[in-house]
Amino acid sequence: MVETRFSKFLQKLGFSGAGHQYEPLERGELETSFDEQCELKAIEKDKTVVALSPKEASRCHREDLAKAFYVDLQNGLSEFSVTQRRLVHGWNEFVADNTEPVWKKYLDQFKNPLILLLLASALVSILTKEYEDAISIAMAVLIVVTVAFIQEYRSEKSLEELTKLVPPECNCIREGKLQHLLARDLVPGDLVSLSIGDRIPADIRLTEVTDLLVDESSFTGEAEPCSKTDTPLTGEGDLTTLRNIVFMGTLVQYGKGQGVVIGTGERSQFGEVFKMMQAEETPKTPLQKSMDHLGKQLTLFSFCIIGIIMLTGWLQGKQLLSMFTIGVSLAVAAIPEGLPIVVMVTLVLGVLRMAKKQVIVKKLPIVETLGCCNVICSDKTGTLTANEMTVTQLVTSDGLHAEVSGVGYNGQGTVCLLPSKEVVKEFSNISVGKLVEAGCVANNAIIRKNTVMGQPTEGALIALAMKMDLSDIKESYVRKKEIPFSSEQKWMAVKCSPKNEEQEDIYFMKGAFEEVIHYCTMYNNGGIPLPLTPQQRAFCQQEEKKMGSLGLRVLALASGPELGKLTFLGLIGIIDPPRAGVKEAVQVLSESGVSVKMITGDALETALAIGRNIGLCNGKLRAMSGEEVESMEQNKLADHVGKVSVFFRTSPKHKLKIIKALQESGAIVAMTGDGVNDAVALKSADIGISMGQTGTDVSKEAANMILVDDDFSAIMNAVEEGKGIFHNIKNFVRFQLSTSISALSLITLSTMCNLPNPLNAMQILWINIIMDGPPAQSLGVEPVDKDTLRQPPRNVKDTILSRALLLKILLSASVIISGTLFIFWKEIPEDKASTPRTTTMTFTCFVFFDLFNALTCRSQTKLIFEIGFLRNHMFLYSVLGSILGQLAVIYVPPLQKIFQTENLGVLDLLLLTGLASSVFILSELLKLCEKFYSRAKKAQVHHEDV
């Protein structure tokens, strides 16, 4: 029998044919062959298993799910199946694509036009045998490039950090045994067991659930934990409505469950965020764009100098090669090699100042970007709010209203009756006392060290009891029975007996108003139960609707001897309230021209309530849902997005689309957030700002800036700093270009007019030290002017070298040239021969002009008396050092020989000081004229408006 069956089996396999004789197999060999065939089938089966999308999996019945993943829902997968599936699906982890080597990242820093220009000037210096210049320029370039590389390399870890949120361990059932495994070992089809405190290791379709509550705030933005079920879903909806799916990276807050892994690694929803982050490029900052533009302007300026000098020399009949060499040398001198260092120093000092204000900045140019940021998009949960559910209102069944102050899971705050503002403690008001007592007893949460263990809503009720000194009231009852909350019944109740009194058992119930009221026949009136009339029921319903319209989560409470004969006690309104200082920050930002928008995964009512509370758009709110964002075309969205202040029910994709639309409309966008769902938007925004304490690792690494204390108002300090930094860079550019143009023009004019050189090589070197040295560098550390925050954000299209700044540079340069040439003309002998006195007077005149010019360059708009002489200590020391250095060059004999100078009289120094101060006086008068003109213009506009 066996032989016949097996010969047929061989024929099917093609092992038997005409002319072949086969010996029948032994029984053991036959079984082995069958095992091999089964194994082959199992391998084929495991290879065909595919990850299911959450929406598909949510509609599957348990049996369909087991068939789709070839898994036994009692015993889990076999080790053999796991091995085969891993070959197809890989490990449950993320691999950041860091293919670009470190050396290439370093070399990329040299692509900056200004850096390339400096390298070209260093090369020319080597060709013209000016080795000192070449070394100093090369050192400046190396310092700038290395500092920028270190900063950027450290900040490019955002993709690697995603792996930190994938938990290292989990509980999994394989071959009928509960095993403790690394999360990376999971494959689709694995059976995972979940309990309180577990971080979800992969996307899982639940098959068994017991009171399971999952905190999905880092993923969806919902502050309230999501109640989970194991029944199949039928309707269509977004990810936030899939109540039988738990997502990787979220947290089990209560209960337990079991389910089948439907997606691992990059095939999970977390993986979708990962892929979107990989696709996103961090945009160039406005400062980087401005510096690139300045580099191009200076290159053009350099070529113009070379061209003019070569043309003049050719017309004079001089040798073209020698004129080209002079032109190139002057062009190299014109390039401010100190500029990248000053920018770097200014940014580093800005970063250090921000660190003192508890703001960590990861990418240097980001500090300045905030100065031109005109839109701040903020996540709600955990950013504008503290992600701590708090009771804010009470309404007792006999019509008393009370407001509750204080935020978070602590006893700080009071309960005050309205409108009398009388503070209630313990049972000083019996109706309020009984309401709070019920909320504290029908409760499973514990507060330890300002942290809630259990449901946040229940934590809010405990915090309320703490504020009324009733937190120990729970100890006066012995719990006999609990009817747990379920999403179907929408209430929970406990049966207790009082410890110290011989009283009958009492039930305490809390839940949704429409469910709790069904079990009530009486209502509490000052401690006396009265029959619950339809009028009283209607009053309570009206109060519940009123609280709900304010975005509050409303809980109804009741107590009594048995279910169905309860006494209604009142309503409690709970919300995740705004953080301290957020309202004031929003107001200041709005006044300074920065538009604040809220993007949240929460419902419309809650979002609008918080929006009004923090004063978004002065309470005139326009809202848009995530679905509307998704259905709208990008260009149409770019037109609409500026008018909307609240976006609700949004996913990571919606947030990204909103950011891109704002950027398309020309806005510089800052995005603040703390969750996984914010990571992509944080990376694509011009400035990503994460929360330091509540922020997830992913959000912190995707962001450019971290608020250490989670203080939203710290953004104001950062905006102020950003505006100040750009002003300082402009001040430096004005000083350095006006000085270098003056020096160049002086030498060019004397060369073209066949006059002796007014300055020798050592004197030019000394001027260069002042031009690029301490006096110039100290302009970069000018303290931030307090009025800068009131100014509107800088237009990103504004270049550093604007028309107004160029006019000021040319004005200062013309005054310096005129004054220095006057002294040169006055001191030159009749035979036009250069003498030590001529060069000393000209040299000292130029240096004094330089120092007065630096003094007026400390501010573009404010007079020196407004900003004060003593505010910038570094500037004072550097100017004092320069004056002492100049006097040493004039009067110290060894230095006189080196610099070819001679002693000057007191009257000479007074003349030079008086003449050099003209550049300072003229600039200050110009500022005064600008002030009067702007005031007159404002008054005219105001008069027209009236």
- Which residues are annotated as catalytic? 379
Tokens of 21: 């004789």
- Nearest in space to 681 (alpha carbons), one of 650, 703, 655: 655
- Nearest in space to 739 (alpha carbons), one of 490, 938, 919, 553: 919
Residue identified by tokens 């070449």 is 134
Q: Distance (Å, rounded) from C-alpha 295 to C-alpha 336? A: 10
Burial of 156 (0-12, 13-18, 19+ CB in 10 A): middle
SS3 assignment for 320-359: HHHHHHHHHHHHHHHCCCHHHHHHHHHHHHHHHHHHHCCE
**Are 384 and 598 contacting, i.e. CB atoms less than 8 angstroms apart?**
yes
3-state SS class at 115: helix
Q: Distance (Å, rounded) from C-alpha 51 to C-alpha 267? A: 7
Cα angle, residue 514 at apex, residues 508 and 518 outer, rounded to 5°: 60
Cα angle, residue 927 at apex, residues 924 and 932 outer, rounded to 5°: 130
Give the other-Cβ count within 10 Å of 628's Cβ: 16
Q: Buried b / exposed e across 80-95, counting CB within 10 Å, b at 16+?
A: ebbebbbeebeebbbe
- Nearest in space to 676 (alpha carbons), one of 279, 264, 269: 269
Q: Distance (Å, rounded) from C-alpha 70 to C-alpha 635? A: 46
**Are 125 and 131 contacting, i.e. CB atoms less than 8 angstroms apart?**
yes
**Are 574 and 555 contacting, i.e. CB atoms less than 8 angstroms apart?**
yes
Question: Which stretches within 650-713 are classed as H helix?
Answer: 652-664, 679-684, 697-702
**Are 351 and 126 contacting, i.e. CB atoms less than 8 angstroms apart?**
no
Could you give the C-alpha distances from 434 to 401, 428, 547, 568, 595, in angstroms and in order?
Answer: 14, 11, 20, 10, 45
Tokens of 151: 């900063």
Q: Distance (Å, rounded) from C-alpha 96 to C-alpha 118? A: 35
**Are 680 and 702 contacting, i.e. CB atoms less than 8 angstroms apart?**
yes
Give the other-Cβ count within 10 Å of 539's Cβ: 16
Q: Check residue 570 and give left, alpha or beta (phi > 0: left; psi -120 to 50: alpha).
A: left
Q: Distance (Å, rounded) from C-alpha 520 to C-alpha 540? A: 12
Give the other-Cβ count within 10 Å of 174's Cβ: 18
